[in-house]
Amino acid sequence: MHDLHAQRTIHMNTRPNHSSGYIVWFTGLSGAGKTTTVRALRDHLEAHRQVEILDGDELRGTLCSDLGFSKADRDANVARIGYVARLLAGHGVAVLVAAISPYRDARREVRNAACSQGIPFIEVFVDASLETVLARDTKGLYKRALAGDVTEFTGITAPYEPPEAADVRLQTDSQTVGASVRELLTALRRYRLE
């Protein structure tokens, strides 16, 4: 017998729920392309849903202006961004976080906190080799770090622990921003978030 009710249930379960928030957390070296990628993704999403970018660089001028670059301060930075991201996602916002967030344990904690609140959390590794970001050096920071003018600089004088099992890995060495956005949209659809 043809079961219309079952069909409708399946349809509803596979439909994206635009009233549900989620967090997409972009981690990677300075200059890897986090900000560029989240802005491009935002441009695709904001036509049909609430989106907010939490950019680590910008938040250091506001919510995290007291924090430096020690491990403790970087972990506090990640924890604060995670807290705000959960608040926003809890109100249906798609939150795109761009933050170097170099330590694996801090990223794990922020993911666990989201999951324990039932908030979908997608970790994106914005993967560009150190050679690439050194060659780009858009902000001139690597040059200063290599000269010793900037201390505790991720990749040079401070560690970066790459994700072991990121949900999405973007090879920005070799792929365009457009290709990255397509990959992210595919992942969001796979998780039924879009």
Binding site for a copy of itself (CB under 8 A): 50, 52, 62-63, 66, 76, 80, 83-84, 87-88, 90-93
Look up tokens 């970018």; give the residue.
Answer: 53
Query: Minimum distance from CB of 65 to a copy of itself (Å)?
Result: 8
Which residues are known catalytic residues?
101
Query: Minimum distance from CB of 83 to a copy of itself (Å)?
Result: 5
Nearer to a copy of itself, 33 or 86 (CB): 86
C-alpha 192 chain-centroid distance: 18
Q: What CA–CA distance (Å, rounded) separates 161 from 103?
A: 6
Q: What CA–CA distance (Å, rounded) separates 57 from 184?
A: 22
Query: Minimum distance from CB of 110 to a copy of itself (Å)?
Result: 12
> What is residue 94's DSSP assignment?
E
Asked if residues 90 and 135 have their Cβ atoms less than 8 Å apart, the reply is no
What is the phi/psi pair of residue 88, to 5°? Answer: -65, -45
Nearer to a copy of itself, 58 or 149 (CB): 58
Token pair for 116: 């324990």
Q: What CA–CA distance (Å, rounded) separates 186 from 188?
A: 6
Query: Minimum distance from CB of 52 to a copy of itself (Å)?
Result: 7
Nearer to a copy of itself, 29 or 88 (CB): 88
Nearer to a copy of itself, 89 or 166 (CB): 89
53 CB-near residues (< 8 Å, 6+ apart): 38, 39, 42, 96, 97, 98
